Amino acid sequence: MAPADRPTTVGPAAAAARVPVKGRGYWAETWLRFRRRRLPMAALCFVALLGLIALLSPCLAGTKPIVCRYKGELYFPALGYFNPRWENPVFMKDRFYKIYPKNLKKKDPESWAIWPVFYADPYRRVRDGEWEDRKGHQIYADPNWNNWFGTNQAGVDVLAQMIHGTRIALLVGFVSTSVAAVIGILLGAVAGYFGGLADMLVSRVVELVMCVPAIILILTLLAILDKPTIWHMMAMLGLTGWTGIARLTRGEFLKLRQAEFVTAARALGVGWLRIILRHILPNAMAPVLVPISFGIASAILTEAGLSLLGFGAPPPNPSWGTLLNSGKQNLQMWWLIVFPGVAIFLTVLSYNLIGEGLQESTDPRLREAGK
Amino acid sequence: MLNYIIRRLAIGSVTLLMITFVVYGLIRNMPGTPLTVDLAESSPDKQISAEELKRRAEIYGLDKPWYVAYWKWAGNVLQGNLGRSIQEKQPVMRVIMPRIGPTLLLSVTSLALSYLLAVPLGLYGSARSGRLDERTTSVFMFMLYSFPSFVAALLLLNLFYVKLDGTLFHLKPGMVSDNYPQLTMGGKVLDVFKHSILPVFCYTYGSLAYYSRFVKANMEEVIRQDYMRTARAKGLSPLTVLVKHGFRNTMIPFVTMLGLTLPGLLSGSVILEEIFSWPGMGRLFFSAITTRDYEVIMTEILIYTLMTLAGQLVADILYAFVDPRVTYS
C-alpha cells in the first residue's frame, strides 16, 4: 500500500515548480472525503464495535474463566473459545468436564478466577446450580433476566450465541472477501494491464462464473465436501465472489496503464510485476474497495442464508444463520428470528453504507465537482 | 447486426459447453451417487445386491467416468433428451415442468411490481432531490435494500402464520391449501393469491429499493445535461421534461438491468422457496442437490446458463433499439 503522502500524478514540471507544497495523496484525499459523510462513518464505527465484540467474545459470554489461578499457576481457559486446543489441558486432566465454578473451588480452595460478564455458553446448556445456586437455563425460554435474548430448543443461551456468532460473521466477511479480492485483483490486473489474449481469457472466465447463480454454485461445491466446515464455506464464497472485483480492477488498469507515470516507469525499465504492484495498484485500490465492501455484505448474507438452509457450519457452531435455522424450525419463537435477524441486517447495512460512502468519495465526477 | 448475433451465439455456445462440462464434473464428484443415497434412506431389508446396483448404474450411465458420461449427456440433450430423474423415476422434463409455473408466478409478479413502482419512485426522488422527504425516503430505501429477505420471510411467517392464527389475516406457507382440489375456480385463484402474498412481498421489496435507487442515480446524471435546461427554458411542464427528456435518456442502463434480471425469472430463490415451502425451481434444485439427482441438477444449470446468456444478448441487441447511436456493424 502506498504511503498516504505519495503524490500520485506527475504533473508538468512547470506546474510542479509553481506549487512546491506536496499535495495530498489519493488515499488521504479519499479518506478526507469519506470522513465528511456521517452515515458511512457511523457504519464504520459500528463495524469497529462488532470487531471489538468479536475479540472480547470470551470475556462477554462464556462459562470459562478469563483468568484463573489454579494450584499456583495462572491459566486463561477462555481462550478455548477461539480454538479448543488453547484450553489448558490441565483442566481436562483434572476432570473439570467444562464446569469450572464448582470444580475450581472443590479441587483447589485457594483458587480465584475472573469470570465473563454473562455466565452462559454458546455451545451447551447451563445446568442447575452450576453457578452458585442459580437455576440452569430452560429450553425454549422467552427473553428473561437470566437469558436476555432467550434460549433455543436445546436450552443454549441466544445472547451467548449471538456474541460468539459475531466472530463467525466478521470472519466470513473478511476471509471470503480477501480470497475474492486476491483472485479478482490478480486476474483483473493481468487482464487490464496486458490486454489482448490475457484479457480475453479472463473475461471468458468471469463470464463463466457469472453465468451460474452464486448460491447454486456454492451449494454444488459444498455438496462435494464430505464434512464442510465454516472455513470451506468461506473459501467457496471467495471462489464465487471475485467477478465484480476483477471487472472493476480491469477497468481501472485499462485506464491507468495509459497514464504518464506508467509510461515513465516503463521507460525507466521497471519490470511489469513492479509496475502492476507498486505503480498502478495503489492508485486503483480505492475504487476497488467499493465492490470489496459490498462483497463483505453479500458474503455475510450468503453465509447466513446457507446456514439457514442447514448447509452452514455444523450445528454447535454459533453462527447467526444457524440461529435463524432454529427459528425457521420453531416459527413461534420470535426471539430466534428477531435478534439474529437484526444483527445480520445492521451488519449488512453497515457494509453497504461503507461501500456507498467509498463509492461517493472515489467517484471522479463528484471529486471534480468538489463534493 | 446479423454478423454480430452469429458471433455472439458462437461465443455463447462455447461458454455453455464449458459451464456444463465443469458443473457435470463437479456434481459427479460429490460423495455418493443417487443410487447409494437412495439406498441409505430405505430400510435394510430392501437392500439390493451388488449386481443389481451395477445394472442400475449402467442404465443411468454412472458406470463410466464423468468426462465420458458428459459427452453422452450432451449428445442426449442436443437430441432433446434431458434424461431421467433418478429420484422421481420420471423424465426430467416431467419433473421440471410443474415447477416452472410456481416460480414464474412469483418472479414475474415481483418483477412487474418492482418495475412499476420503482420508476415513479426513482423519478420522484430525482425531482425532489435533496429535500427532506426525498432524503427520508432514500434512507428508508437503502435500509430496505439491506434488509435480508429471508429474515423478512421468517418474521412475516412468525406474524401471519403463528401470531395471527385464527384471525382473518392468517396466511400459511406453501402454494395451496390442503383442500385445494375441492375448491371452485374462483376459490382456487383466491387460495393461490392468499398464499403468494408473503413470498411476493419478500421477493419484491429488495429489488424495488434497488431499482428505484438505480433509476434515481441514472437520472441524476441526465438531469445536469444542457438539453434538460433547454427543455425547461422553453416552457415544457416539469413532468414532460422529467419523463420525455430525462427518463428516456436513461433507458440504456435500464435495459441492461432488464437483461440481467432474465435468468432470475426462472432460477427462483432457493432460500425463499425453502422457507415458504413453495414448489418452485429453487426448491427442486435444493432437493436435487441433497439427493444427488444429477440429471435434474444439470437441466436446471443448463436453463440458468441459457437464460443468462440470452439475457445478455437481448440486452445488447436492445441497446441498438433504444439508442440509435449504438450499432453493431
| pLDDT (tens digit per residue) in A132-166 | 777 777 777 788 877 888 888 877 888 989 999 99
**Alpha carbons A367 and A30: distance in angstroms, whole number:** 9
- The confidence band for A3, taking pLDDT boundaries of 50, 70 and 90, is very low
Check CB contact under 8 Å for A211 and B150. no
Nearest by CB to residue A349, choosing from B30, B146, B301, is: B146
Tell me the nearest-neighbour CA distance from A258 into chain B, angstroms: 26
**Alpha carbons B53 and B39: distance in angstroms, whole number:** 10
The cell for B278 is 413453495
CB neighbours of residue B303 within 10 Å? 17
Nearest by CB to residue A208, choosing from B18, B289, B300, is: B18
**Alpha carbons A164 and A63: distance in angstroms, whole number:** 13
Tell me the nearest-neighbour CA distance from B120 into chain A, angstroms: 23
Nearest by CB to residue B30, choosing from A223, A309, A327, is: A223
The cell for A217 is 454454485
Check CB contact under 8 Å for A328 and B275. yes
- Identify the three-state secondary structure at position A254: helix
B85 burial class (0-12, 13-18, 19+ CB within 10 angstroms)? Answer: buried
Tell me the nearest-neighbour CA distance from A212 into chain B, angstroms: 6
Q: Return the residue of A nearest to B152 by Cα.
A: A341
Check CB contact under 8 Å for A208 and B300. no
Which range has the worst mean pLDDT, A217-221, A298-302, B277-281? A217-221
SS3 content of chain A, % helix, strand, coil (to 5): 65, 5, 30
Tell me the nearest-neighbour CA distance from B184 into chain A, angstroms: 31
Best of A216, A236, A303, A360 to disrupt the B interface (most B CBs within 10 Å) is: A216
A344 within 8 A of A304, measured Cβ to Cβ: yes
Best of A211, A303, A352 to disrupt the B interface (most B CBs within 10 Å) is: A211
**Cβ neighbours of A348 in B, within 8 Å:** 146, 148
The cell for A299 is 458474503
CA distances from B108 to B105, B114, B272, B279, B284 (A): 6, 10, 15, 16, 19
Question: Quick one: which of B294, B31, B266 has its CA closest to A213?
Answer: B266
Check CB contact under 8 Å for B158 and A213. no
**Alpha carbons A15 and A4: distance in angstroms, whole number:** 21
**Cβ neighbours of residue A230 closer than 8 Å, sequence gap 6 or more:** A168, A171, A172, A312, A313, A317, A319
Question: Quick one: which of B307, B306, B264 has its CA closest to B149?
Answer: B264
Residue A364 reports pLDDT greater than 70? no
Residues A302-308: what's their mean pLDDT? Answer: 90
Residue A287 reports pLDDT greater than 50? yes
More confident residue, A227 or B100: B100
**Alpha carbons A256 and A271: distance in angstroms, whole number:** 16
Only one residue has cell 371452485, namely B184
Question: Quick one: which of B269, B276, B275, B227 has its CA closest to B248?
Answer: B227
Check CB contact under 8 Å for B290 and A327. no
Q: Return the residue of B nearest to A213 by Cα.
A: B304
Q: Which pLDDT belongs to residue B4?
A: 84
Best of B17, B158, B290, B300 to disrupt the A interface (most A CBs within 10 Å) is: B158
Check CB contact under 8 Å for A308 and B150. yes
Question: Quick one: which of A68, A303, A300, A59 has its CA closest to A160?
Answer: A59
More confident residue, A371 or B210: B210
Q: Which residues on chain A place their C-beta less than 8 Å from a C-beta of chain B?
A: 39, 204, 207-208, 210-213, 215-216, 219-221, 223-224, 226, 297, 301, 304-305, 308-309, 324, 327-328, 331-332, 334, 337-338, 340-341, 344-345, 348-349, 352-353, 356
- The confidence band for A371, taking pLDDT boundaries of 50, 70 and 90, is very low
Tell me the nearest-neighbour CA distance from B243 into chain A, angstroms: 24
In the 3-class helix/strand/coil scheme, how is B233-253 assigned residue by residue?
Answer: HCCCCHHHHHHHHHHHHHHHH
Task: Enter the pTM of the model.
Answer: 0.86
- Identify the three-state secondary structure at position B119: helix
**Alpha carbons B109 and A226: distance in angstroms, whole number:** 39
Q: Which pLDDT belongs to residue A2?
A: 43
**What percent of chain A lies above the pLDDT cut of 70?**
90
* Positions in chain B short of pLDDT 50: none
Question: Quick one: which of A216, A191, A193, A196 has its CA closest to A206?
Answer: A191
What's the whole-number average pLDDT of chain A? 83
This model of the complex carries an ipTM of 0.85
Question: Quick one: which of A189, A344, A171 has its CA closest to A253?
Answer: A189
Q: Which pLDDT belongs to residue B38?
A: 61
B12 within 8 A of B309, measured Cβ to Cβ: yes
B104 burial class (0-12, 13-18, 19+ CB within 10 angstroms)? Answer: middle
Q: Which pLDDT belongs to residue A238?
A: 93
- H/E stretch holding B20 reads helix B2-28
Check CB contact under 8 Å for B22 and A208. yes
**Alpha carbons B102 and B175: distance in angstroms, whole number:** 8
Q: Return the residue of B nearest to A204 by Cα.
A: B15
Residues A213-218: what's their mean pLDDT? Answer: 81
Question: Quick one: which of A177, A224, A242, A198 has its CA closest to B22?
Answer: A224
More confident residue, B166 or A60: A60
**Cβ neighbours of B150 in A, within 8 Å:** 304-305, 308, 324
Check CB contact under 8 Å for A309 and B267. no
Q: Which pLDDT belongs to residue B127?
A: 85
Count of helices and strands (H, E) across chain A: 16, 5
Q: Which pLDDT belongs to residue B46?
A: 56
**Alpha carbons A112 and B190: distance in angstroms, whole number:** 67
A8 within 8 A of A278, measured Cβ to Cβ: no
Residues A187-195: what's their mean pLDDT? Answer: 91
**Cβ neighbours of residue B51 closer than 8 Å, sequence gap 6 or more:** none
Residue A289 reports pLDDT greater than 90? no
Question: Quick one: which of B92, B78, B76 has its CA closest to B34?
Answer: B92
Check CB contact under 8 Å for A331 and B18. no
- The confidence band for A6, taking pLDDT boundaries of 50, 70 and 90, is very low
